[in-house]
Structure 1
Amino acid sequence: MRQASSNEIEAEVVGLEKVKSWVYVQSPYLASLDGDRVRGGNGIANHLEDIDRVDQVGVRCQIRFLLNVKPVCDMQDAVRTLGLLHAIGWETVQRWLFPEVTHVGTDISVKSQIQLGWVDAGLNEEQRGAIGAITFREHKVPYLISGPPGSSPSLFQSFARILIVGTGKTKTLVEAALQILATHPDSNIVICAPSNSAADTIARRLCVPSSTSSASGSIIQPGTALRLNLPSRTFAEVPGEILPFCYVAPTATGMNAFSIPPFAELMKYRVVICTCQDASVLATANATNIAMMKAESEMLETFHRVSDSSRIRDIPPHWTHLLIDEAAQASEPEALIPLSVVVPYPLPEGFRSVDPVIVLCGDMHQLGPIISSQEARDGELDVSLLERLFLREVYAAHSRARGRQKLDNGHHTSDWEAPFTNLVQNYRSIAPILMVPAAMFYNDTLVPAAKNVDLLKWKDLPNPKIPILFQGCEGAEDWIDELTSPSAQSWYNPSEVETIVHQVESLLGADLGIKQNQIAVITPWREQVWRLRARLRSMGYHEVDVGNVETYQGAEFRVTIVSCVRSRERFLDDDRKMNMGLFNERKRLNVAITRAKEILIVVGNANLLKRDPYWNGFLQIMLRNNLYKGPKLDLEMSGAYISRLESAMHRNEDHDPEEAVLRLAGALARETLRED
């Protein structure tokens, strides 16, 4: 804490966990000096009478941030709105939240034969099929798009030295929005994502043409699309190219800030892009379908009565489509906020309407919503709406569902149209790296589509044909107390730090053409991040990226190194309670091992990790393919996770009888599961 001016103090908050922006610029707080009366503030330095006491030795100031309950209240309002509609038997809500096979149908009797003019020429067949289904309103239940990491050709954007990839899901969503606008002149779209960065990405894609776009200028003009932001968001946080699409107004203090346009102006926008949470701003402004349709029906009943009781009048919803990107990262109550904005009003007799189209995109096998409370996780609040819907019969029992899909012959036998698309082509990782997540998380449905690259001839690879290394390291971890809460301990593993520094040194010194900023070191613990970063910087490796797993979801690098940290069993139960680490964390593990394009390195205690069923399967793949180095690893081999990609790599090799039987058993098990 230091004195910033004659009447202001400035304090640095160490170890702050910024999750879902609970603490933000101008957060409300309570402060007191040495037990004096408590005074409130809003993140801007307060005028304190005793400010001169800050210079005195031993003076203590207590600052407590107040919980912003508005996000919780917004979620409660959304749940209440949809819950009441469901309670009165409103079929739309039933189809959206609890869809059944009997709900599957189309809003048109014959599929339109309109030939879509593709804006993005780089779309594959799967993506185009999904866009057609969305554009022509082929389903009354939510249309789901699932895709693995790197499921479209990369479109790189450099931000904070992290290469952000244009995933196939986002590309599909953006193209769908453009086709809807072109095909349906009366359409108005709400596009949401769980985070501001994801919403900014969508806005950037809609407003700035990509390298594969057929558009020569801006695809959507500022008067057509609105990037809606809260006033608390700073201008510096918003990418410059989408600032023209934001609405700015002066505040009571005379300062400019982001805001929502006046109602009449808001209604002119055909696309509104915001976070799921910020969609509540539309509800506050009475810009929901319920509010607008209710007002219109009451006005017509009052001023324009009809004598013919058989006459049906149409009241279309203003918001005709809702598209949610990265839906797997939003909690279900959070996703219900935009749904409550677009859900139509239950019109009285004599009126009719059409339901908006709902589209959810995401990967339920990667990181989901961040829920810190164990009680909340026990209540499955960490299960996203996307994941819950995918587990319902209408999606899971379809013959095109992952695990049931037959890529070899394409025969689909379900009696109903699939209200979903599973993207299977992966443009990021070469086939040897892709074989691991394909088998462990995607039911062996992934197809490698990365451009052919020569395997890097790194001398430390135990198998020169497969650029993967698991380096066993059994050094003990240690911890520090971050002083933010009784349970806020962060862990680090000095042995793994030194091992990784050696690996980075070897990679950069091996004349492989690898640059520092093409290497990422990923670890689940903040203290390990800081120590790795400091150690690498001390060696002159300032551009090697180091961060936690959550930081790198959506990013890719030529080389990734995963530091597991945990080495002692007695701390695993605490990890589970705190939802931390890589042990028994299937989704976090998937994100960690799917960032690599050409080389994947994992450093950890294999004899501890093998107790986790997913790590056990991972280690079996390592041992089968001679990818493990380190202390002796006793592991019972069961043939788990033998994928088509792995089988193809060993098809023409000679195996000893025991290994041949193991591979045959794994292949038979794989095919049996696919037939069930």
Structure 2
Amino acid sequence: MIIATPRGEILHGAPGRGRLTVLLCFFHLRKIAPIPIPALCRSTIVSLTSLESSLVLAMWANVQNQQGIKYFFTPTVCVVLFFTGESYDVEVHYWLHHYGHFPATMYFEFCTESDPPGSSKPFCIVREMEASARTHLAVELGPFAPFKPCQVVPYKPVDTVIVEGEPPERYSKTKVINLLKCPLKMRNYHHRFHLLLHLEEIQMEVDIKKYDLHHQTMTQDRDNRRLLVLHVPGVAENRPSVLRGDCLKVAKSEDKVQPITVYTGYVHRVELERVKLGFSKRLVQSFISNTRFDVEFTINRFPLKLQHRAVDLAEKHQMDEVLFPSGSGVRTTLMPKLSMFNRQLENNPEQHAAIQRIVSGASKPAPYLVFGPPGTGKTITLVEAMNQLNRVDPLCHILACAPSNSASDLLCERLLGHMDPHCVYRLYASSRPLSTVPQNLLKHCNWDASQDSFVFPTKEVLMGYKVIITTLVTAGRLVSGGIPVGHFTHVFIDESGQAVEPESIIGIAGLLHPEEGQLVLAGDPQQLGPILRSPLAMQYGMGISLLERLMKDNPLYQKDGEFGHFDSRFVTKLLRNYRSHPAILKIPNELFYEKELQVFADQWDRETYCNWEHLPKEGFPLIFHGVLGKDEREGNSPSFFNVSEIEVLVDYLTKLMKTQGKKGLPKLSPKDIGIIAPYRKQVEKIQNALNFVKELSQWKDIKELKVGSVEEFQGQERKIIMVSTVRSSINYVKMDQDFNIGFLTNEKRFNVAMTRAKALLIVVGNPVILNKDPTWER
């Protein structure tokens, strides 16, 4: 009988600049009886093998018996003759120079002296081990408390009497299935999207219940005693999504007597994980600290209602040739000779042609598409087209939209560079936090300091502006406000690939004339698409944007089979990449763009870090740094973080800071660096690390170093991009897929993350996990 007993604990250390020897674990081997195998004998051969991590430089063991005889073995097999009654101590060491957690398997194989190691019937003992190499930073950033999921609030039955009414005629199950499976046409357009929107809403209702809270306390706001503050773990990562104007329902946990009083609280402000709520005077005036409440979250139906209305208006205004263009109404037009505001565009044939087509209205009433892969300047193309329209057509009125506030802000900032500021107006929703609005846009928007909120101007005021910039959802306010159909001669939608089709229709139906108006869609179907909750809605086409549907299903927007070119009357694909070094662009170009992208980035900018001393390969400014970290969570927050990856990021940041201005490298500002992470908690921990590490915290303007999600970086670029993939456990990949977060199983998110860098891309992640994804494996 053989006993293998671990002695001692795993020891931790930090590799720092050199290699670290970690005394990992002790094993005590003792043979107290012969091994029960056919040929019994008094001696046994023990074979020791380590199955080590790919990131461990070396691993070895010292084996010593009671007579003091020592054996030394490396990861190859070590054979020791083992007699009955003998015992050995096995001392296992790691030799490594990486941060992270390093699992290993120690394999003990026992056989008789007559059977050599590797025999067909060995007796085996396997023991798992792990070493951890970390710094004080990892200890500082580690979990402050063990993760404990929020408990689901038990349903409280309320005494009610329900009297059923007369329901309308319903679709049969067969009709519903047929509606979902049949091709999308104008005749079934509003029926199909009403159904898909309802499916999405049902899933949203189900998902939001997962975040209901039980036995939570609130505090009174120090700045406004009329508001109560509730701590909501995960709200900063939109899990759950809570915006200004949303409502929550709370009931005292101790209430048992029917009927239970439920208080509705309206969100006044969201600050990281603190939500400030306005309740009735009855609750506020009787509020006692430490009172426990059960909290129920609700979805915001306003965007859904606008989408339902939009698809109805699309049918009402007969927008067939806009949504399902046939090209039958296209007129032959002469291309105007244009003098570009941005002179650089004159040397780009694709951008120049797209602007000419938009200004001439060549595709009307069909939409004109600008297919803009990363770094090709699609937003600049749209802005130039708007400037040209404003110059050549005094009667034009332009509505410029995007799905997100950040993309809409970028449009506005670039328009203000060439257009009369008095002609441009940025319309914000009342839910937009003032702190997130760029300072240079405050005097061009609907912020009212006297009311401390965003207010909606009158119809007459809005119609006086030549260009209005807003999000697609907020564009619904223009329809509600009575802006007449045809007032806007042109509607531009940037980043249109990120919006579900009914969301795009909000900015079109009821505003754009179906025959005389010009719709321009710009985006990239290979980058981030719409975010949906319902698997059924995604399965039946809700996850495909209007831009992607047209390019996928409509012959006008597809390449011809003979020459492989797009029809320039309807679509232009921008080909010149002005952003990235060829090494950074190579993989995305091959995977997503048929190798058509051309490197036109400024040579000095793109080769700035080709000779950086910390590159594994000189002249190749792309680093993948493998880290075997751990997926961790803390407290009640569902968001993940990985401190081992943060240590590596901090190490590279420190190297970049120390080498700037030396050996031909330029001076570096923190605003030239971006760090992308898929989880809000990782973003938060990285930001904390920048303040904790003394050298980095003293770097001038360190607060301008942006740390954010992939969504926050779409449409942006930095000289240096670092990516933290976080995920180190295959068990959580399915969760990422369900919640549409993380990098695995989402090639569009991968594409965006990998194409933000101009001169240096550093990716930090677990190669074992990432290699399981076909995109990362490539």
Question: TM-score w.r.t. structure 2 length?
Answer: 0.62
1:163 equivalent in structure 2: none
Q: How does 1:251-650 map to 2 (within 5 A)?
A: 255=451, 257-289=453-485, 317-344=486-513, 354-395=515-556, 397-399=558-560, 417-453=568-604, 454-456=607-609, 457-480=611-634, 482=636, 489-510=638-659, 511=662, 512=665, 513-540=667-694, 541-542=696-697, 543=702, 544-617=705-778
Q: Which deviates more, 359-368 or 524-533?
A: 524-533
3-state SS of paired residue (2:221) = strand
2:394 equivalent in structure 1: 185
1:642 equivalent in structure 2: none
Per-residue deviation, 1:105: 5.6
Per-residue deviation, 1:229: 2.9
Q: How does 1:101-120 map to 2 (within 5 A)?
A: 103=327, 106-107=330-331, 109-112=332-335, 114-120=336-342
1:98 equivalent in structure 2: 324
Per-residue deviation, 1:589: 0.5
**Root-mean-square deviation over aligned CA pairs:** 3.0
Per-residue deviation, 1:371: 1.7
Residues 330 and 66 of structure 1: CA distance in aligned 2, closer, same or farther (over 3 Å) = same
Instruction: Give 2:244's match in structure 1, choosing from 11, 25, 28.
Output: 25
1:304 equivalent in structure 2: none
Per-residue deviation, 1:340: 0.4
Kindly indicate whether the alpha-carbon contact (under 8 Å) linking 1:481 and 1:490 is maintained by their aligned counterparts in 2.
Answer: no
Residues 497 and 235 of structure 1: CA distance in aligned 2, closer, same or farther (over 3 Å) = closer
Residues 530 and 181 of structure 1: CA distance in aligned 2, closer, same or farther (over 3 Å) = closer
Q: Which deviates more, 15-24 or 378-387?
A: 15-24
Per-residue deviation, 1:110: 3.9
Instruction: Give 1:127's match in structure 2, choosing from 351, 363, 374.
Output: 351
Per-residue deviation, 1:400: 10
Kindly indicate whether the alpha-carbon contact (under 8 Å) linking 1:30 and 1:40 is maintained by their aligned counterparts in 2.
Answer: yes
Tell me the distance in 1 between the aligned counterparts of 2:479 and 2:379.
26
1:625 equivalent in structure 2: none
Tell me the distance in 2 between the aligned counterparts of 1:575 and 1:554.
23
Tell me the distance in 2 between the aligned counterparts of 1:19 and 1:494.
22
Tell me the distance in 1 between the aligned counterparts of 2:456 and 2:647.
51
Per-residue deviation, 1:76: 0.5
Per-residue deviation, 1:323: 0.9
1:664 equivalent in structure 2: none
3-state SS of paired residue (2:322) = helix
Tell me the distance in 1 between the aligned counterparts of 2:283 and 2:357.
66
2:141 equivalent in structure 1: none
3-state SS of paired residue (1:479) = coil
Tell me the distance in 1 between the aligned counterparts of 2:433 and 2:671.
28
The structure showing larger relative contact order (alpha-carbon pairs under 8 Å, at least 6 residues apart) is: 1
Tell me the distance in 2 between the aligned counterparts of 1:494 and 1:47.
43
Kindly indicate whether the alpha-carbon contact (under 8 Å) linking 2:525 and 2:548 is maintained by their aligned counterparts in 1.
Answer: yes
1:486-522 per-position Cα deviation (integer Å, ceiling 9, x unaligned): xxx3222333233333333333333444444433322
Residues 437 and 67 of structure 1: CA distance in aligned 2, closer, same or farther (over 3 Å) = same
Per-residue deviation, 1:75: 0.1
Tell me the distance in 1 between the aligned counterparts of 2:452 and 2:739.
40
Kindly indicate whether the alpha-carbon contact (under 8 Å) linking 1:8 and 1:47 is maintained by their aligned counterparts in 2.
Answer: no
Instruction: Give 1:66's match in structure 2, choosing from 287, 298, 302.
Output: 298
Per-residue deviation, 1:149: 2.1
Letter aligned with residue 368 of structure 2: Y
Residues 459 and 225 of structure 1: CA distance in aligned 2, closer, same or farther (over 3 Å) = closer
Tell me the distance in 1 between the aligned counterparts of 2:313 and 2:675.
44
Percent same amino acid among aligned pairs? 33
3-state SS of paired residue (2:748) = helix
1:39 aligns with 2:256: no
Tell me the distance in 1 between the aligned counterparts of 2:523 and 2:587.
20
Letter aligned with residue 334 of structure 1: E
Tell me the distance in 1 between the aligned counterparts of 2:682 and 2:435.
29
Tell me the distance in 1 between the aligned counterparts of 2:508 and 2:285.
52
Tell me the distance in 2 between the aligned counterparts of 1:139 and 1:66.
43
Per-residue deviation, 1:478: 3.0
1:246 equivalent in structure 2: 445
Residues 267 and 597 of structure 1: CA distance in aligned 2, closer, same or farther (over 3 Å) = closer
Per-residue deviation, 1:206: 2.1
Letter aligned with residue 565 of structure 1: V
Letter aligned with residue 479 of structure 1: R
Residues 525 and 230 of structure 1: CA distance in aligned 2, closer, same or farther (over 3 Å) = closer
Kindly indicate whether the alpha-carbon contact (under 8 Å) linking 1:429 and 1:596 is maintained by their aligned counterparts in 2.
Answer: yes
Tell me the distance in 1 between the aligned counterparts of 2:443 and 2:465.
14
1:228 equivalent in structure 2: 427
Letter aligned with residue 274 of structure 1: T
2:410 equivalent in structure 1: 201
1:156-209 per-position Cα deviation (integer Å, ceiling 9, x unaligned): xxxxxxxxxxxx111111111122222223322221111223222222222333
* Runs of 5+ consecutive residues of structure 2 not aligned to the other structure: 1-217, 256-260, 269-277
3-state SS of paired residue (1:462) = coil
Per-residue deviation, 1:585: 0.8
Tell me the distance in 1 between the aligned counterparts of 2:459 and 2:759.
51
3-state SS of paired residue (1:505) = helix
Tell me the distance in 2 between the aligned counterparts of 1:228 and 1:441.
35
Kindly indicate whether the alpha-carbon contact (under 8 Å) linking 1:99 and 1:394 is maintained by their aligned counterparts in 2.
Answer: no
Tell me the distance in 1 between the aligned counterparts of 2:584 and 2:654.
22
Residues 607 and 249 of structure 1: CA distance in aligned 2, closer, same or farther (over 3 Å) = closer
1:537-572 per-position Cα deviation (integer Å, ceiling 9, x unaligned): 321324254322222222222222212222232332
1:301-358 per-position Cα deviation (integer Å, ceiling 9, x unaligned): xxxxxxxxxxxxxxxx33221111111111111001112033437xxxxxxxx42111
Tell me the distance in 2 between the aligned counterparts of 1:172 and 1:118.
11
Residues 105 and 444 of structure 1: CA distance in aligned 2, closer, same or farther (over 3 Å) = farther
3-state SS of paired residue (2:507) = helix
Letter aligned with residue 473 of structure 2: Q
Q: Considering only CA atoms, is the larger Rg found in Structure 1 or Structure 2?
A: 2
Tell me the distance in 2 between the aligned counterparts of 1:360 and 1:400.
24
Question: TM-score w.r.t. structure 1 length?
Answer: 0.71
Letter aligned with residue 220 of structure 1: D
Residues 321 and 527 of structure 1: CA distance in aligned 2, closer, same or farther (over 3 Å) = same
* Runs of 5+ consecutive residues of structure 1 not aligned to the other structure: 152-167, 210-218, 290-316, 346-353, 406-411, 484-488, 618-676
1:360-388 per-position Cα deviation (integer Å, ceiling 9, x unaligned): 01122221222233333223322211111
Tell me the distance in 2 between the aligned counterparts of 1:262 and 1:516.
42
Per-residue deviation, 1:18: 5.9
Kindly indicate whether the alpha-carbon contact (under 8 Å) linking 1:105 and 1:138 is maintained by their aligned counterparts in 2.
Answer: no
Tell me the distance in 2 between the aligned counterparts of 1:81 and 1:7.
41
1:578-614 per-position Cα deviation (integer Å, ceiling 9, x unaligned): 2221111111111111121111121222233223221
Letter aligned with residue 585 of structure 2: L
Structure with the higher fraction of residues in strand conformation: 2
